[in-house]
Chain A
Amino acid sequence: MTPFRDMRLPHAYQVTLGAPDDFEGWRDQARRLVQCDVPPDRVVWDAPGSAATDLFAQGDRRLPVPAAGAAQPRASRQFLQLAQSVTLHSDPERFSLLYRLLWRLQAQPRLMEDAADADVGQADRLARQVRRDIHKMRAFLRFRVVEEDSGAERYVAWFEPEHHILRANAGFFVRRFTTMRWSILTPQGTLHWDGESLQEGPPAERADAPSGDPTEDLWRRYYASIFNPARLKIGAMLKEMPRKYWKNMPEAALIPELVATAQAREATMVDSGRSMFEDAERPANLEQIANMIEACRRCPIGCNGTHAVAGEGPSRAPLMIVGEQPGDVEEQQGRPFVGPAGRLLRSHLEDAGLDLGAAWLTNAVKHFKFVPRGKRRLHQSPTAKEIDTCRWWVDSERLLVRPRLILALGASAARGLLGRTVSVQKERSRPHALEDGAELWITTHPSYLLRLQDDARAGEEARFAQDLRTVAGRLAELTS
C-alpha cells in the first residue's frame, strides 16, 4: 500500500500492534474490523520496528465498534495456522495480506485450498520463508560456554534471525537443552533459560556474546575432515547454507581454503591410486627380471639398501615354489631358500620325492625386510601393500615360466598369488584354480616349523610333509 494511495482514503483506519510477532493482537483487531465491514484497502497495519510508523499519522486510530450481535467472522483452522507463521515474517505488508485473505474468506470459505490464487500463494511463500528461518536458527545457532560468577556453566549463543522468530523458536531450545543453562542473544531480543524458567530480555549486540570456545577447534577439525575433496559441490552447499549465516558459524571460516585446495587433494589421491607399474613393460626373460628387481624402488623395502634376490631354476619348470621374502642368508648369498628355513624345505622336498632341480624357486617379495638389532638383522613381515606391489614381479615370472602347479609357502606367498589374505590352515591341502589355468597349493612356511617346539613341531612337520607328498603326486598327474 503506497502512501499516495492512502492519502486519497481519508477514512482509513490505522491499527498499531504491540509487537512485530503479535498474532493475537492482529487477530482481535482483524475480527473487529471484519465485523464492522471495513474493506482491506481502508486499513493500515503498523507494528513496532516497521518504518511505517507515523508516516500515516492521518489515519484514524479510533477503531469502529461492532454492533452488538454482529456475526463472528469465519476463518478455517488452516488459515489461522498459516496466519500465525506469516505474522512472524519481516515483510511490512504481512498484516495487510492476512487481513485481505480473512476478508475474502468470508465470501469464499474454501479460498485457502486454492494455492494458485495470488494472495494464498504469497501467504504460503511467506510462511515457508518463516519456517525456513526457524529451521535455520535451530541448525546454525552455535553455543559457546562461559563460566558464571557462581561457577556454573552457561551456554551463550549469538544469532541474527531474518524474521521475528525468536519467541516462536524458544520452545525448541527448551525441549532440547532442558538441563542446561543457556542464553540466546539476538538483535530482536534475548532469551535466558536457567533450567526451570524462561526469561525474555532486551535486544543485544554481538559484543555481548562470548568470542570463542576451545571445543570449536575440535569441531573445525571435524568439519575439515568429514569433507571429501573429491566431490566438491559448492552450489549445493550454498543453497542450504547461504553466506549470510557464515559469520556466526565457527567452521565456516575454513570453507575458502577447503574449496581452494580440493582439486589438488583429489589429484594427489588419484595419483597415489595409480599402479606403480602403469608404464612398465613386462620383462622379456628371466634375466631381465633379475636385473630389474635389483633396481626396483617401488616400495619401502626396495629402498632399504639390500640386494634383491631373484628366482632360480629351469626356465620352463612345471613346479613353482613361492616363499615370503629373502632372509638374512639369502640376501647375502643372492639365492633363494639357502638359509635355515630353506635347508629344512630342501630336505622335505627330497623326502617327498620332489625334484628341486625341476622347480622354479622364488619369493613373493624380492627384497629383505628387517630391523637391525645390534649386529643382527631381524626378519620383518612385509605388509599386504608391499606384497601387492611386488606381485607384478611374481606375475611376470609366472608369465615366463608358465608352471602347471604353484606351491605357496605361508600367508604372504598366498597373498602374492591370490591378491587377498587367506588363512593358511583353512586353505591348505587342496587345489585352488588360478586364472591362467595353473593350480595353486598352499601350505605353511618352513620358518613357521622352525619356531615350534617338540610335539607341536612334530605334528606340524608331519602335516607339512604330507602336503608336499600330495603336491608331488598331483604334479606327477599334471605332467604325465
Chain B
Amino acid sequence: MTRQSVMERLEILADAAKYDASCASSGTARRNSKGGKGIGSTEGMGICHAYAPDGRCISLLKILLTNHCVFDCHYCINRKSSNTRRARFTPQEVVDLTLAFYRRNYIEGLFLSSGIVKSSSHTMEQLIEVARILRAEHDFRGYIHLKTIPEADPELVARAGLYADRVSINVELPTVAGLTRLAPDKSAGQIEGAMGTVKAAIVEAKDARTKFKSAPKFAPAGQSTQMIVGADAASDADIVGRASTLYDRFALRRVYYSAFSPIPDASAVLPLKRPPLIREHRLYQSDWLMRFYGYAPGEVQQVTDAGGMLPLDIDPKLAWALKFRERFPVDVNRAPREALLRVPGLGVRAVNAILAARRQRRLRLDDIARLTVSLAKVRPFLVAEDWRPVLLTDKADLRTLVAPRKAEQLELFVA
C-alpha cells in the first residue's frame, strides 16, 4: 500500500475523532507566551475559532493519533471489526500540525485521543509523548486536552495531567448493561476507577499548591466525560441520574451528551435511526438546571413521562413550571433568588440584574421586558408592580400559550 499523505491521514483521523462532542478550551490556568521561547496563551474563556455546519464549535485540533484499535465497541467507527480506512500519525507529525494551525490562529490547541494499539499503556505513552514534545521542546502554552485510556497504567494517567489542561475519560454509555452489550472490551469499574485516579490527582495537586507555589499543576481545567445518548435503552431519567452521580463522585467539570450518530459501516447491534438531536439539547438543558439553577436531579426527573423521557416540544424548565403551577407566579420585587431562577425565560444574568435593580426601585413589567428576550414567555409566571397574571397562570391551555409555536422547526434541516 502506498504511504498516505499527511492530508489523507488528517482527513481519516479527524473524521474518526468527530464523534467526541467535547471541544471546550475554557477554564484553565491563565498563561501567555511572554518571556517564553514558544507561542500560546490561555485566558480563561475559551475561543471557538470556527463553527461547522453541525453547529459545533471548532476550538481545538481534534484528532486521533491512530484509528487502529484492538477494541470492538459497537457504537464506534474505529472498532476492530469496522471496514473504515485506517491511518496513524507519529507524535512529531501531530506536533507539527498543531503548531502550524496555532500560528495561523485556527485553533486554541490540541485535543488528542487514540484507538488502542498494542496495549492501553503503550497507546497512552504515545499520547503523552505528543504533549511532552509540545510543552517541553516547543514551550507551547496553548490548550491541551488528552483523552485518557482507562485501562492504562494509573502512573501514566498521572503523567498526562502534568502536561494537559484537561483530561477526560468517556463513560460511553449511561448504564452498565449498555456498556457491557455495546462495548464488550470495556469495564465500567475500570472507567470509574480511572476517573477516581484523576480526581485524586487533581485534588492532591491543588492541595500541594496551597503549600508550595512551585508544585506542578495537574489538569487545571479539570476532567470531563461523555455519554452516548440513544444507542441503548437508557431513559432521560436514567441519564440525568447518572450524570448527577458522576458530577458528585468525580467532581467533573462537564458531562457531554452525544446523540448517537449513524456512522459509516455501523454494527448491526445499533439502532438504525438516530435519536432526535433535540433530545441531546434537552439533556444539556437539564444539566444546566442542575448545575446553575439549583434544581435537584429528582426535580428534573419529575418532568419526565412514564417512560422516563423529557418532553421534546418544551424545555425542562418550562415543563417543571407548568407541572408545579402552585409555585407561581413569583413576585419580581420580593421573591428570593432561588424562586426567580425557576421562572421560565429568566436566565442567571436576568435574575442577577433583577436583584440589583430592585434595590433601587420597584420593578414594572416594562423593566422586565428590557431584561429578557421574551416577555410573553415570562409574563404568566411573575408578578410586577403593575402586573398580576390572575387568569393566565390557572389557564388550562397555558402550555399552548407559552410553548414554542412549532417545535418541529428545530429539526427542519435534519429530516
Footprint of B on A, CB under 8 Å?
110-111, 113-118, 121, 135, 138-145, 155, 157, 172, 174-180, 213, 215-219, 221-237, 240-241, 249, 251-252, 255, 258-259, 262, 266, 268-270, 272-275, 383-385, 388, 419-421
CA distance A237 to B15 in the complex (A): 19
Task: Determine if B104 and A145 form an interchain contact, defined as CB atoms under 8 angstroms apart.
Answer: yes
Complex interface: chain B residues within 8 A of A175 (CB)? 32-34, 41, 43
Q: Identify the interface centre among A115, A217, A224, A229: most chain B CB within 10 Å of its CB.
A: A115
Q: A269-B266, A274-B272 are in contact. Are A143 and B103 (CB under 8 A)?
A: yes
How far does the Cβ of A165 sit from chain B's closest Cβ, in whole Å?
15
Q: A116-B353, A118-B370, A143-B105 are in contact. Are A233 and B32 (CB under 8 A)?
A: no
Complex interface: chain B residues within 8 A of A145 (CB)? 103-104
Within 8 A of A (CB), among B90-105: 97, 100-101, 103-105
CA distance A138 to B47 in the complex (A): 8
Q: Mark B262-276 against chain A: 1 for CB-CB distance below 8 A, else 0.
A: 111111111011100
CA distance A118 to B48 in the complex (A): 32
Q: Is B152 an interface residue (CB 8 A)?
A: no
Task: Kindly list 9 other residue pairs between chains A and B, CB separation below 8 angstroms, not including A172-B41, A218-B100, A273-B272.
Answer: A110-B360, A115-B353, A172-B43, A180-B103, A233-B53, A234-B53, A266-B262, A273-B270, A421-B81
Task: Determine if A227 and B52 form an interchain contact, defined as CB atoms under 8 angstroms apart.
Answer: yes
Q: Identify the interface centre among B62, B106, B185, B277: most chain A CB within 10 Å of its CB.
A: B106
A-B contact pairs, 29 of them (CB 8 A): A114-B361, A115-B356, A115-B371, A116-B357, A116-B363, A138-B47, A139-B48, A215-B104, A218-B7, A218-B97, A221-B7, A221-B14, A222-B61, A225-B15, A226-B52, A227-B18, A228-B18, A228-B54, A230-B262, A230-B414, A231-B56, A231-B259, A233-B54, A237-B51, A241-B50, A273-B263, A273-B272, A384-B81, A421-B81
Task: Determine if A232 and B359 form an interchain contact, defined as CB atoms under 8 angstroms apart.
Answer: no
How far does the Cβ of A262 sit from chain B's closest Cβ, in whole Å?
7
Complex interface: chain A residues within 8 A of B357 (CB)? 113-117
Q: Mark B33-50 against chain A: 1 for CB-CB distance below 8 A, else 0.
A: 111111111010101111
How far does the Cβ of A65 sit from chain B's closest Cβ, in whole Å?
35
CA distance A135 to B264 in the complex (A): 36
Complex interface: chain A residues within 8 A of B33 (CB)? 175-179
Contact partner of B53 (CB less than 8 A), chosen from A121, A143, A227, is A227
Task: Determine if B262 and A116 form an interchain contact, defined as CB atoms under 8 angstroms apart.
Answer: no
How far does the Cβ of B297 sit from chain A's closest Cβ, in whole Å?
27
Task: Determine if B356 and A223 form an interchain contact, defined as CB atoms under 8 angstroms apart.
Answer: no
CA distance A110 to B361 in the complex (A): 11
How far does the Cβ of B314 sit from chain A's closest Cβ, in whole Å?
18
Complex interface: chain A residues within 8 A of B56 (CB)? 228, 231, 233, 236
Q: How large is the interface on B (under 10, 10 to 19, 20 to 34, 35 or more residues)?
A: 35 or more
Q: Is B17 an interface residue (CB 8 A)?
A: yes
Contact partner of B54 (CB less than 8 A), chosen from A176, A213, A237, is A237
Q: Identify the interface centre among B12, B72, B370: most chain A CB within 10 Å of its CB.
A: B370
Please give me the residue from chain B that is nearest to A232 by CB atom.
B413
How far does the Cβ of A416 sit from chain B's closest Cβ, in whole Å?
12
Complex interface: chain B residues within 8 A of A117 (CB)? 357
CA distance A282 to B367 in the complex (A): 69
Task: Determine if B100 and A215 form an interchain contact, defined as CB atoms under 8 angstroms apart.
Answer: yes
CA distance A470 to B97 in the complex (A): 57
Complex interface: chain A residues within 8 A of B61 (CB)? 222
Q: Identify the interface centre among A142, A241, A249: most chain B CB within 10 Å of its CB.
A: A241
Q: A113-B360, A240-B51 are in contact. Are A225 and B101 (CB under 8 A)?
A: no
Complex interface: chain B residues within 8 A of A115 (CB)? 353, 356-357, 370-371
How far does the Cβ of B14 sit from chain A's closest Cβ, in whole Å?
4
Within 8 A of A (CB), among B372-407: none
How far does the Cβ of B163 sit from chain A's closest Cβ, in whole Å?
19
Q: Is B159 an interface residue (CB 8 A)?
A: no
Task: Determine if B106 and A142 form an interchain contact, defined as CB atoms under 8 angstroms apart.
Answer: yes
Complex interface: chain A residues within 8 A of B116 (CB)? none
Q: Is B303 an interface residue (CB 8 A)?
A: no
CA distance A336 to B361 in the complex (A): 91
Task: Determine if B268 and A388 form an interchain contact, defined as CB atoms under 8 angstroms apart.
Answer: yes
Within 8 A of A (CB), among B220-256: none
Task: Determine if B58 and A135 form an interchain contact, defined as CB atoms under 8 angstroms apart.
Answer: no
How far does the Cβ of A135 sit from chain B's closest Cβ, in whole Å?
7
How far does the Cβ of A92 sit from chain B's closest Cβ, in whole Å?
22
Task: Determine if B7 and A179 form an interchain contact, defined as CB atoms under 8 angstroms apart.
Answer: no
How far does the Cβ of A263 sit from chain B's closest Cβ, in whole Å?
8
CA distance A85 to B263 in the complex (A): 46
Complex interface: chain B residues within 8 A of A110 (CB)? 359-360
Q: Mark B308-350 against chain A: 1 for CB-CB distance below 8 A, else 0.
A: 0000000000000000000000000000000000000000000
Please give me the residue from chain B that is nearest to A217 by CB atom.
B7
Q: Identify the interface centre among A229, A249, A420: most chain B CB within 10 Å of its CB.
A: A420
Complex interface: chain A residues within 8 A of B35 (CB)? 178
Q: A121-B370, A179-B37, A269-B266 are in contact. Are A231 and B360 (CB under 8 A)?
A: no
Complex interface: chain A residues within 8 A of B270 (CB)? 273
How far does the Cβ of A353 sit from chain B's closest Cβ, in whole Å?
35
Contact partner of A249 (CB less than 8 A), chosen from B50, B80, B103, B259, is B50
Please give me the residue from chain A that is nearest to B361 by CB atom.
A114
Q: A237-B52, A241-B50, A269-B262 are in contact. Are A221 and B10 (CB under 8 A)?
A: yes
Complex interface: chain B residues within 8 A of A114 (CB)? 356-357, 360-361
Complex interface: chain B residues within 8 A of A141 (CB)? 105
